[in-house]
A and B are shown apart, each in its own frame.
Chain A
């Protein structure tokens, strides 16, 4: 619930329940304002729900202190814009070292090795990027650095909010495939937040469709996208570009937009 000045309160999320298991990906889809990012904010403790709770391994999110820090190490975010989420003044090394040092996750003499290991995990050549700054890297490389940073604290859960929408189309699949590999190898649970139904379908095991803060449909990815039951899901699907369907229908080739 958000307090909105003048108009009282706005329900950003309403009675939302779901379970994310390790090694699984849930795609969270819906249009702007549907509450997708509010869910992410609750998970990373930027918002507190007015009712309901979030359990990690059966335990509620700790409120403060060491327990909260440990929760935050277990749950990491990958943000949409790798241009904004990396600090232009600092080297790639610094970005990845920081969670290691802050969390006391590597002894001083092991930090360098660990940074390199993480860069290799995201298929970057450590020597080529480690002492560079974000602006010297391409968008795809930057997003890989952001993923390496997220992995540094050995999380069990990754919240990826539109991780590829700012990237060039030809490298999006590469980054999604990287996330899929890491998830498999590390048994991560991934919450993939997007409004792109096509990548949600291919990248997720399960899809949750959110409309005005409510879950309107939930199920295996293919079922939800290929055979949507809810009118809102159908509307979203109809609005998504789908050349296959477009050229299959006779109306499709009457020249341009109909």
Chain B
């Protein structure tokens, strides 16, 4: 594999409730620089907990019980994410790793213009920037995700779902992170809009070279857009492989079950008995 960006080793998360829930169990996973990794599995399999956990975004009762997460920064420095202090972590987040949350398009502040919400990112993380610089960065970002700079003064409700999701991608892209974690970023959108956004993420990745962890239960989509796919079940990764290998030669029985639970667009009939 090419140069690694993120090395997750023996990572475990437990929800400290009664009885305790072992949501992520000893996950070891390596992500290469510039790679799109798909993380697939059903609700409750631990995929979101894993993605939150490696960024230390989890809150009690979730506890990271074991393991390490090493971020191999572009500067050559290796950062042990678990060892960062609270302030270091705050600066690290969004700067190095950003996230597009599930249902993110509905997480914009409804009473603030999107331009000013994007400017907030720079105000917090790049305090040295002048207001003029911030505005110009925001305009560039909105152009980049093809929402258009003229939309900076729009309120979220004036934009379609697809456009709002692009604004969230612009926000995640703002500080040019090396890794973007996307949790079901297109699930709420219809297929045409989904395809357009996927295309855009892919172009931006080529342009900026960031890696992506793409979380979804839509396996057919992952098969098309990712380099590698990790299949998760009950907190464990049961199989990791190149997308094509997962499709043509799945090793784990659960991977096969998951693959067979999708009706094929052009494949054989008969999955719905009629």
Contact = CB atoms under 8 A, between A and B. Distances in A.
Specify whether A and B are partners. Answer: yes
Interface of A: 25, 31-32, 139, 168-170, 172-173, 176-177, 180-181, 184, 195-199, 201-203, 205, 222, 225-226, 235-247, 252-253, 255-258
A226 B190 contact: no
B105 to A, nearest CB: 13
B42 A247 contact: no
B266 interface: yes
Given A237-B265, A247-B223, A257-B226, 6 more contacts: A139-B43, A168-B42, A184-B274, A235-B192, A240-B265, A253-B244
B190 A32 contact: yes
Contact of B191 (A170, A203, A225, A236): A236
B265 A222 contact: no
Interface string B222-259: 01111100000000000000011001100000000110
A168 B43 contact: yes
B195 interface: yes
A31 B263 contact: no
A256 B204 CA distance: 13
Contacts of A201: 263, 265, 269
Given A31-B191, A173-B261, A202 B266 contact: no
27 contacts: A31-B190, A32-B161, A32-B193, A168-B217, A169-B262, A170-B261, A173-B263, A173-B271, A177-B273, A184-B274, A195-B191, A196-B191, A197-B191, A198-B220, A198-B264, A199-B263, A199-B272, A201-B263, A205-B274, A239-B194, A242-B265, A243-B224, A243-B264, A246-B223, A247-B244, A257-B198, A257-B225
B224 A226 contact: no
Contacts of B274: 25, 180, 184, 203, 205
B55 interface: no
B199 A242 contact: no
Residue from A139, A195, A243, A253 having most chain B Cβ neighbours under 10 A = A243
Interface of B: 35-36, 42-43, 161, 189-195, 198-199, 201-202, 205, 217-221, 223-227, 243-244, 247-248, 257-258, 261-267, 269, 271-274
A239 B192 contact: yes
Contacts of B243: 256
Contacts, number: 125
A258 B244 CA distance: 15
A243 B218 CA distance: 12
Residue from B43, B225, B262, B267 having most chain A Cβ neighbours under 10 A = B262
Contact of A202 (B194, B201, B223, B263): B263
A202 B271 contact: yes
A181 B274 CA distance: 7
A168 B190 CA distance: 18
Nearest to B218: A241
A256 B226 contact: yes
Contacts of A256: 35-36, 202, 205, 225-227, 243
